[in-house]
Amino acid sequence: MNGVIVVDIQGDFTQLMSGSLAVPGTGLDYLNKINKAIDRIRSLGIPLWASQDWHPANHISFFTNHPGKKAFDLINLQGKNQILWPPHCVQGTPGAELLIEPASFQAVIQKGRDYRFDSYSAFQDDGGQETELDGLLKKQGIRTLIIFGIATDYCVRFSALDGLARGYKIRVIKSLCRGVDPVTSAEALKEIESKGTVILEDLDEFLNAGSKV
């Protein structure tokens, strides 16, 4: 059984909404492509889930919560490298809103709600706290997970890795993803591919294969 997860299509990550952490290539064309893909997947009866970055204002990933630091500085947080981001996707603000219709999804998985931990992955945060995603997918018998959205080098990457670790077959639709940086995005695709993810150019490549790829 196939399922789809659409990652972090939110105002703050898009140029369309002049977001605080706008990722290149996220104008109206991209949003139209995403919405078309969602409609097509729905029309085929394939269930979809969405993830939503959903931070409290005091979130640890915001440079503004670390005196003397600036955006994109790297700090060590409990033994891990943490990039400090501009404040983004603060709960209840316009920039945190999904730019896709929530009713299209079985559920919207909110992540990064604990101020102490970042959470690129839709499955769990850096403190190991699981979201409800794995349980929801298992309940519906999903074995193959198609992933696309923002950003290739962070939330798509870690959602793919955590999906693989939980035993799902993972397919990432490249033309429906956008990355913060072209170099780290290319590296991320290589990394997840080396761990077993199938990288597909577009949705057609998945659907034309009779979902067998």
Q: Which residues are catalytic?
A: 8, 111, 155
The DSSP 8-state label assigned to residue 85 in this structure reads B
Residue 145: phi, psi to the nearest 5?
-120, 120
Provide, rounded to whole angstroms, the least separation between the CB of residue 54 and Zn ion: 9
Provide, rounded to whole angstroms, the least separation between the CB of residue 50 and Zn ion: 15
Q: Which residues contact 135 (CB under 8 A, 6 or more apart)?
A: none
- Assess 12 for contact with Zn ion (CB under 5 A): no
∠ CA 14-18-24, nearest 5°, is: 45
Compute the radius of gyration of the chain from its Cα atoms. 16
Question: What is the x/- site pattern for Zn ion, positions 101-140, by CB under 5 A?
Answer: -----------x----------------------------
Nearer to Zn ion among residue 42 and residue 66 (C-beta): 66
**Distance separating alpha carbons of residues 157 and 49, to the nearest angstrom:** 17
Residues 43-62 that bind Zn ion (CB under 5 A): 53
Nearer to Zn ion among residue 112 and residue 149 (C-beta): 112
Interface positions with Zn ion (CB under 5 A): 53, 112
